[in-house]
Amino acid sequence: MIFAVCDDEKIFRDEIIEALNRYFGKLEVTCKEYESGASLLAAYEQGEDFQALFLDIEMPGIDGMATANELRTKGFAAPILFLTSHTEMAMEGYEVAAFRFLGKPANPEKMERALADLRQELCEKQKLIIRSDGEDIILIPDDICYVEAQNNSVMIKTAKKEYVIRKKIADIENELSAISENFFRIHRGYIVNLACVKKHVGNDIMMESGETLPLSRSAVNGFKQSLFKYVRNSAR
């Protein structure tokens, strides 16, 4: 994922970038810094694009609201998270479809909630494209219940259908983790969608579909942590 951080004060750019790297992981994100609205607009006009923008409102020259309005006019549709110490600016943010307003300095808990919402927003726009029976099939991650390894293929189980494709389960795991944080590899032969898990008993995972899948001993702790995080984020 590529994020842009635009703030005239480096200390606040560093704060946002540190929070992004901590939440998403340094290997998952690339952060591009801009110290003014003018430099951000120039980069966008030259072809730079971002999946989300963290934008300071109060900057010398063209301010954040004017910058956002110009970006929207030019077709920029990604989420914009405004950085400001003045919450009364929120009303103006509706005009440019602001995703969130974050205080300066950012409150750690509010920042984590905003990033969880942002990730969910970005993941909802992502899709998995597979080739099955000579056709390209587009799958929405939320529709996938689990993935099962079958010799040199994998079976992708949705609520309505099963798709068998020639691919390694490790490759599917990487593709799914890139577009959603709701998947967990419970066993060398299985990846589950945490949203489809009904309960966990010992080394068994019961799915909403009624199926029971094996949970390896080495994956128990990681599975519990991931499931807890999923439930916590879903309750927000």
CATH number of 2-124: 3.40.50.2300
Domains 2-124 and 128-234 share a fold: no
Domain boundaries, the chain: 2-124, 128-234
**What φ, ψ does residue 29 adopt, rounded to 5°?**
-125, 150
Chain-centroid distance, C-alpha 21: 13
Q: Note the pLDDT tens digit of each residue in 175-214.
A: 898 788 889 999 999 999 999 999 999 999 999 999 999 9
* Beta strand spans in the chain (E): 2-6, 30-34, 52-56, 80-83, 100-102, 128-132, 135-139, 144-150, 153-158, 162-165, 183-187, 190-193, 197-201, 204-207, 212-214
* CATH of the domain spanning 128-234: 2.40.50.1020
pLDDT at residue 171, rounded to an integer: 92
What's the confidence (pLDDT) of residue 89? 54
pLDDT of residue 216 exceeding 70: yes
